[in-house]
Amino acid sequence: DVKVTQSSRYLVKRTGEKVFLECVQDMDHENMFWYRQDPGLGLRLIYFSYDVKMKEKGDIPEGYSVSREKKERFSLILESASTNQTSMYLCASSSRYTEAFFGQGTRLTVV
């Protein structure tokens, strides 16, 4: 059974903390994505990566960075968490002709 696994389902962090969200896929997919989901706004792309050590900005990269040191792992980093980054974060992976496979999501609350 193919899987995308996110390290946490729920996370509570304080303003100003550095936050790491980890995502691992076991399908040998070249593409990996980070989205955030907010009510009424749908899914917005933060960053994506189409190869190891490669990254591209999505629609809302401000306040975020990413790391992809290995093909199976794509990390999202909030350098200094703020309350407006409270959201649901979704990781996904895909290959060229496949659909996107999603993790279970991480609900992050910044207080």
Tell me which residues touch another protein (CB under 8 A): 4, 31, 33, 35, 40-43, 45, 48, 50, 58, 88, 90, 92, 94, 96-97, 99-105, 107
**Smallest separation, CB 31 to another protein (Å):** 5
- As given in the structure block, the two tokens for residue 63 are 């306040």
Q: Judged by CB, which is closer to another protein: 19, or 35?
A: 35
DSSP string, 4-58: EEES-SEEEE-TT--EEEEEEESS--SEEEEEEEETTTEEEEEEEESSTT--EE-
Partner residues linked to 77 by β-bridges: 20, 65
Residues 87 and 37: their CA atoms lie apart, in Å, by: 6
Q: Judged by CB, which is closer to another protein: 32, or 110?
A: 32
**Smallest separation, CB 80 to another protein (Å):** 26
Q: Judged by CB, which is closer to another protein: 26, or 79?
A: 26
**Smallest separation, CB 98 to another protein (Å):** 9
